[in-house]
Amino acid sequence: MKRSRGKRHYIRGPRVNRQIHVREVRLVDKDGKNLGVMPTDKALAIAWDQGLDLVEVAAGEHPPVCRVMDYGKLRYDLKKKHAQSARGGGGELKELGLTMKISDHDLGVKTRQAKKFLQKGYKVKFNLLLRGREKSFQDSLAPTLLDRIVELMSDGGVVDQRSKKMIGNRMFVIIAPSRSRGRKEGRSKNDQVKPAAAGKSKNASGHGEAGSPDEGGKTPAPARTRTPSADEKELPAEAPS
């Protein structure tokens, strides 16, 4: 006769409060002070009196080590850290494989997929597999193909690491997200020369005349008679032929 199997409940993360079924634990308070070995019920009462949780932090010890802490805050901090790592703070790596016989279409598909990974903050590793006689191309065609990949990815990332020689039967290049690209584009837009205001008057030499806004509000100077230069003098009329 077969026994009916009920659903198994798996506990993710450390055991907390009533999930701790051992008789006694070694308790560490919220400040890190070791309070020694005591019954689990007593440790649980100490934690609850402070409005905190009893969290098992070292299940492999005898007895297990538990600490008094805010378990909700702990889970929030771990989730936030994981989210930052996924956005690129931790530099998580995605890998794409290719061979020497890859077509232009397939290479375009690979690079477009890699750019999507870069936008999410991942690093991308292109693994170039060399088979059989293709290993003789490690100093010629293989680096050329990697150079092409770097060029195709230049608008979304920069080279983080690249193999100089074949490792096993592979060569690789790692592309990392270009964080400074957006800042450089922003500066280039701000550094553009702004056209002069329509209301500003300019004299023949290109400088603001006295009394114009270019003078910063200074008292207008009296008009002066300027002697025309040699190039500005009128030429005499040609004699009739």
Q: Give the C-alpha separation, 11 to 13, whole Å.
A: 6
Beta bridge partners of 136: none
- Residue at a domain's end among 167, 182, 197: 182
- Please tell me the predicted confidence (pLDDT) of residue 14: 85
Which of 1-10, 94-103, 186-195, 211-220 ranks highest by mean pLDDT? Answer: 94-103
pLDDT for residue 233 is more than 60 = no
Percent of the chain residues topping a pLDDT of 70? 65
Structural domain range at position 66? 17-73
pLDDT for residue 198 is more than 80 = no
Residues 101 and 150 in one domain: yes
220 CB-contact burial (10 Å; exposed 0-12 / middle 13-18 / buried 19+): exposed
Q: What is the pLDDT of residues 111-151, one digit of tens each?
A: 999 999 999 889 999 999 998 888 888 889 999 999 999 99
Residue 197 lies in a domain: no
Lowest-pLDDT range, 45-49, 79-83, 92-96?
A: 79-83
Residue 230 lies in a domain: no
Smallest CA-to-CA distance from 26 within 71, 72, 61, 75 is with 61
> What's the total number of domains in the chain?
2
Beta bridge partners of 172: 127
CATH label of the domain that carries residue 43: 3.10.20.80
Mean pLDDT across 197-209: 47
Residue 108 lies in a domain: yes
Residues 42 and 117 in one domain: no
What is the H or E stretch that residue 3 is in?
A: none
Q: Give the C-alpha separation, 29 to 234, whole Å.
A: 98
Smallest CA-to-CA distance from 110 within 148, 163, 165 is with 148
Residue 84 lies in a domain: no
Residues 115 and 177 in one domain: yes
Smallest CA-to-CA distance from 146 within 161, 168, 131 is with 161
Asked if omega into 220 is within 30° of 0 (cis), the reply is no
pLDDT for residue 53 is more than 90 = yes
Smallest CA-to-CA distance from 170 within 124, 127, 110 is with 127
Smallest CA-to-CA distance from 119 within 160, 153, 69, 82 is with 153
Pairing between strand 170-177 and 157-162? antiparallel
- Please tell me the predicted confidence (pLDDT) of residue 16: 92
Q: What is the pLDDT of residues 156-197, one digit of tens each?
A: 899 999 988 888 888 999 999 987 544 444 444 444 444 444
- Please tell me the predicted confidence (pLDDT) of residue 237: 52
- Please tell me the predicted confidence (pLDDT) of residue 77: 79
Cα atoms found within 13 Å of the Cα of residue 77, Cβ hemisphere only: 6
DSSP state of 60: T
pLDDT for residue 48 is more than 90 = yes
